[in-house]
Amino acid sequence: MEFNEPAGENVFDHSKVVGRPTPRVDGPLKVSGRAPYAYERHDVAEGQLVGYPVVSTIAQGRITNMETEAALNAPGVVAIVTTLETGEMPIPSDMNVAPLFGGAEVAHYHQAIGVVVADTLEQARAAAALIKVDYDVTKGSYDLEAAWQEKREDRSDPVSRVGDFEAAFEAAEVTLDQEYRTPSQSHAMMEPHASIAAWKDGKLTVWTSNQMIEWTRQALATTLEMDPEDVRIDSPFIGGGFGSKLFLRADSVLAALGARKAGRPVKVMLPRPMVMNNTTHRASTIQRIRIGAQQDGKITAIAHEAISHTFPGGDGENAISQTQKFYAGENRLIVKHLAEMHLPEANAMRAPGEAAGLMALEIAMDEMAEKLGMDPAEFRAINDTQVDPEDPDKPFSERHFVECLNRGSEAFGWGDRNATPGQRRDGNWLIGHGMAGAYRGSPAQDSGARVRLQPDGRLIVETDMTDIGTGSYTIIAQTAAETMGLPLDMVEVRLGDSDFPVSAGSGGQWGAASSTAGTYAACLALRSEIAKKIGVNDTDSLTFKNAGVRTGEKQMTLASIASEGEIVAEYTMEFSDSRDEEIVSTFAAHFVEVGVHVATGEIRLRRMLAACDAGRILNPITARSQVIGGMVMGVGAAMMEDLAIDEGRGFFVTHDLANYEVPVHMDIPDQEVIFLDTLDPQSSPLKAKGVGELGLCGVAAAVANAVYNATGVRVRDYPVTLDKYLDQLPAV
Amino acid sequence: MRPFSYERAGDAAQAAARAAEVEGAKFIAGGTNLLDLMKLEIETPVHLIDVNGLGLDEISATDDGGLRIGALVSNTDLAAHETVRRDYGVLSRALVAGASGQLRNKATTAGNLLQRTRCPYFYDTAQPCNKREPGSGCGALSEGAFSRQLGVIGTSDSCIATHPSDMAVAMRALDVTVETITPVGMTRQIPLADFHKLPGDTPEQENALMPGEIITAVTLPAPVGGTHAYHKVRDRSSYAFALVSVALIRQPDGTGRVALGGVAPKPWRSDEADAELPNGARAVMARLLDGARPTEENAFKITLAERTLAAMLAEE
Ligand SMILES: Cc1cc2nc3c(=O)[nH]c(=O)nc-3n(C[C@H](O)[C@H](O)[C@H](O)COP(=O)(O)OP(=O)(O)OC[C@H]3O[C@@H](n4cnc5c(N)ncnc54)[C@H](O)[C@@H]3O)c2cc1C
Ligand code: SF4
């Protein structure tokens, strides 16, 4: 089935299930500890051994020798696989650049170079520590500032240029020219990467924790040079991903190699420091933003130039992307630089590009509004655009950003703030208010599902879609229930198995809109099968309701129709290029109140609010959960998260959750979320878009702007920690 | 983690004797620090002597009006003890500012004093660290290193790590004494001021205990009165080690005591700095942090310490 024109009226416009606040259908499994997470799947394969990764302790160079004898003789050790014995292995996919395993070359710190397989974790870990590795070390450079100084004036290969930015900026009545810095960040999802691998008759099954089942099946086959048909991936429950589990990671490869050598199933988990240095992260950036405007607030010139580090051949952090589309302005310049470094691979982390880009852009907008003497929400509204500012012939499908600004302002009481910084005080606390806009694209991916109507009338939905804590189980069940006229508890959703039809997977906030579309497509196919079964030609003449179907005067239960055996239908929703004739995006406005301790500079958030324009809200409970979770992540980005680089040795120093701080409960006060519930027929049959990444976008800048409003000190270097402004606070 | 053997000691003296007798033995109390370090092979004891169950978990009044806190009293129980809350408020506050509820239930008084630094290079066995591996160099002081969390005073060219305890900072302000039994059965009283050592050229030697010596108690002198406060500054609201912490006991006449955490290899206090208290935070810190040698990344701790104390003084 192809989605090749805007959705017309359909079942979801008269919904009884979709759009209703529905608690997670998998909630009871999770709170009772019965949801099977990868590392604890003791029942899937008998005789599991434990593999412990051996990782490189240099950032770049060559392994000259690995001494494994002591480890092999250690108690409980069954097998050891080293990177020298396997030799170089293919890069897993064209979305990755760093090798996961194999060969003597070391390309980054904590690259996997071996796995020790033993009876117990303790034995494997102790034995792994006995392996001695000799290296020829290559000295690398890890200095982003130096790279930026070199490339800062190079505009020879811009991402885009519209009009004459330089002339317009020169002529502008009010201008801003500032640099902003964002650090590297770790996804810091709760569940680390973990896999169990088992071989049988040359076929490999991997029970893992992964967002994109089919990508990973293909990548594992590529890496191990196997036929993808001989690889099965199963990942029904995922303890958070945020992009960290989009791709095949070393845990799966090590488990597979370890299991092959040991001749028994092997499980491997990456300890937290390896999550930081072995897997991927969001790259650090330096961003220069220039904005020129007329006195009335209209932007006439805008330039965003950014550099980020990247593993050689990679794409770094695309911090400029939102600036291409978000605000109006006739003259525009977008430049992206990459600084190649042998750090671990920089790759997608929740809202890749926008999250870091808006951290900068939305401070710049705040600064500009202040220069213009304007309310920052109003300044943004004035520069709203309903068309692509780079290509005015291309409209946004649905864009209600100004409504987000208005609704948010009103609900937050934005008008009551004091626009002059440093004026409000509550005892020892300087009180500040800040806001920011948010923009995040809402792509869609083809998504398939299989639906199986059971003789008892229950419906089973199978798709390799994943639920990374987002609520996929629930919204897919809702979609199927709605389409088939079933109560929710008669639908069972099965996810994350590569034996199921290929879905969109979870990434780029495309999961919800795409996978529900795929489920809908499969349900429509099932409706046709049912029509056939009962001898009706025109499926549209059927009404599916109350677990039954009606045609004319005739009414039958679905159970009776399937009584002779299950009825199965499988279908894929394909999104055609026509969807891209308009820009499908999501928007939000964030408002934040902070207190900054006048003496110590400690920041305490007081309240925060988001107003979101993100298509049909399929389930207000799970959608809200996504947005408030994103807001928490934004608070972390604003106030503490810093994957600090040791520039001498080329690795992330803050590599555990004691040093890489994320917000705790006490950091998060009242959170309020408003959904506009704007339908977007251009986006999907359900007129839905994504919310998972939107919730993060812009939040950090709103916090930074609030700190400025509280203190009068502008920090342009994240995280906004007290060391950066302490000496500019009032004397005590 | 290396394989190890394990025993439960019968009494404190026997535990000390055994610890001296078995090479590579260590005591284990709550295990909240030791076990983590063993998993990472930063600590590699071959034998553990469990000191739980030695009857060292009592809090009792002393003859001179103070309190004797058994070495195995948990941080939770100590913080909640009525007399502690009434007469030694700074201690109770410092304790609850540390770690989390779960950890404080397991963490013991002796273990807390002996917890090791949180320097990230100490924690990565692939990195040089003089404290973990004497003579290997200091990762935190090498070019391009990340030193924001580390010490600014009392440090050396060998090591700039801090002692991470909150409890110890309050105890330093209270002038507690550490009570021990040596392997030959002798009892010693070590003032906390002399208990932790500065790194000098030997950062691996962190305290005054001799091999095998066991802590049996910590004694608090009679209450000193005054107003007690503990302010711990960190990047998030809870569950993080201090960037800087300030323990303050202030008498109505403006005199008092100040101890700092997060800045030095031990809780940091001096009589000379205390004497400046009537003259304000700047005067105190000018003395207390005289001779500080911060890195570029942690120089803010000096300003922060002064401003934090100033705010605490202004609060009353
Ligand atoms: C996540 C986390 C966060 C934390 N946050 C904080 C914080 O914010 N502030 C803070 O102050 N602390 C914090 N801590 C540290 C915590 O306070 C210590 O781990 C705890 O106090 C150690 O006590 P324990 O009984 O568990 O010691 P153990 O781990 O059992 O032992 C520690 C050391 O003491 C020795 N030892 C124990 N008992 C004796 C004895 N009687 N005589 C001689 N030697 C002995 C052991 O041999 C070992 O070397 C944190 C810890 C963790 C894991
Ligand atoms: S500061 Fe001390 S603990 Fe940290 S690396 Fe240097 S020697 Fe080791």
- B145/A648 touch (CB, cutoff 8 Å), yes or no: yes
**Predicted local distance difference test score (pLDDT) of residue A553:** 86
Same fold flag, A2-35+444-580 and A353-442+584-728: yes
> Cα–Cα distance between A297 and A541 in angstroms, integer?
56
Contact between residue A645 and residue A343 where contact means Cβ atoms under 8 Å apart = yes
Coil, strand or helix: which one is B170?
helix
> Cα–Cα distance between A435 and A414 in angstroms, integer?
9
Assess whether the C-beta atom of B117 lies below 6 angstroms from ligand 1: no
Of all residues in chain A, the one with the smallest CA distance to B304 is: A600
Q: Give CA separation, B123 vs A111, A563, B116, in Å.
A: 18, 63, 10
**Predicted local distance difference test score (pLDDT) of residue B117:** 98
**Predicted local distance difference test score (pLDDT) of residue A499:** 98
**Predicted local distance difference test score (pLDDT) of residue B23:** 95
Count of CB atoms situated within 10 Å of the CB of B250: 21
Contact between residue A165 and residue A331 where contact means Cβ atoms under 8 Å apart = yes
Give the tens place of pLDDT for each residue, B48-64.
999 999 999 999 999 99
Coil, strand or helix: which one is A437?
strand
**Predicted local distance difference test score (pLDDT) of residue A510:** 97
Count of CB atoms situated within 10 Å of the CB of A312: 12
Size of interface A-B (CB pairs under 8 A): 109
Helices vs strands, H then E, count in chain A = 17, 32
Structure tokens at B227: 């107003």
pLDDT band at B192 (very low <50, low <70, confident <90, very high): very high
pLDDT band at B315 (very low <50, low <70, confident <90, very high): confident
> Cα–Cα distance between A647 and A145 in angstroms, integer?
11
- Contacts with A621 (C-beta within 8 Å, 6 or more apart), sequence order: A21, A22, A23, A24, A471
> Cα–Cα distance between A481 and A545 in angstroms, integer?
10
Structure tokens at A694: 């939107």
> Cα–Cα distance between A643 and A29 in angstroms, integer?
34
Counted residue by residue, chain B has a size of: 316
Contact between residue A732 and residue A598 where contact means Cβ atoms under 8 Å apart = yes
Assess whether the C-beta atom of B180 lies below 6 angstroms from ligand 1: no
> Cα–Cα distance between B201 and A354 in angstroms, integer?
49
For the CA of B158, the nearest atom of ligand 2: 7
Preferred mutation among A643, A711, A722 to probe B, highest tally of B CBs within 10 A: A722
Q: Does B189 touch chain A (CB under 8 A)?
A: no
Coil, strand or helix: which one is A354?
helix
Torsion (CA) B162, B168, B172, B173 in degrees, nearest 10: 110
What is the CA angle A115-A119-A124, rounded to 5? 35
Largest CA distance in chain A: 85
Give the tens place of pLDDT for each residue, A489-499.
999 999 999 99
Preferred mutation among A73, A276, A643, A646 to probe B, highest tally of B CBs within 10 A: A646
Give the tens place of pLDDT for each residue, B125-156.
999 999 999 999 999 999 999 999 999 999 99
Ligand with minimal distance to B166 CA? 1
**Predicted local distance difference test score (pLDDT) of residue B316:** 63
Mean pLDDT of B278-286: 98
Percent of chain B with pLDDT over 90: 99
Beta partners for A195?
Answer: A208, A268
- Which stretches of chain A score pLDDT less than 70? none
- Interface pTM, i.e. ipTM: 0.97
For the CA of B138, the nearest atom of ligand 2: 6
Give the tens place of pLDDT for each residue, B72-97.
999 999 999 999 999 999 999 999 99
Contact between residue A189 and residue A244 where contact means Cβ atoms under 8 Å apart = yes
Q: Please give the single-letter amino acid code of residue B280.
A: G
Contact between residue A440 and residue A507 where contact means Cβ atoms under 8 Å apart = no
**Predicted local distance difference test score (pLDDT) of residue B272:** 98
Active site residues of A: 693
Structure tokens at A320: 């400029």
- Give residue limits of the domains in chain A: 2-35+444-580, 353-442+584-728
Phi then psi for residue B284, to 5 deg, are: -60, -50
> Cα–Cα distance between B3 and A727 in angstroms, integer?
51
Count of CB atoms situated within 10 Å of the CB of B190: 17
The bridge status of strand A554-557 relative to strand A548-551 is antiparallel
Q: Give CA separation, B176 vs A64, A308, B81, in Å.
A: 54, 52, 17
For the CA of B43, the nearest atom of ligand 1: 49
Query: A83: part of which helix (H) or strand (E)?
Result: helix A83-86
Phi then psi for residue A538, to 5 deg, are: -95, 100
The third-level CATH classification (topology) of the domain covering A2-35+444-580 is: Aldehyde Oxidoreductase; domain 4 (3.30.365)
The bridge status of strand A61-67 relative to strand A105-106 is antiparallel
Integer-rounded Cα radius of gyration of chain A:
27
Mean pLDDT of B35-39: 97
Count of CB atoms situated within 10 Å of the CB of A521: 26
The third-level CATH classification (topology) of the domain covering A353-442+584-728 is: Aldehyde Oxidoreductase; domain 4 (3.30.365)
Report the mean per-residue pLDDT for chain B.
97
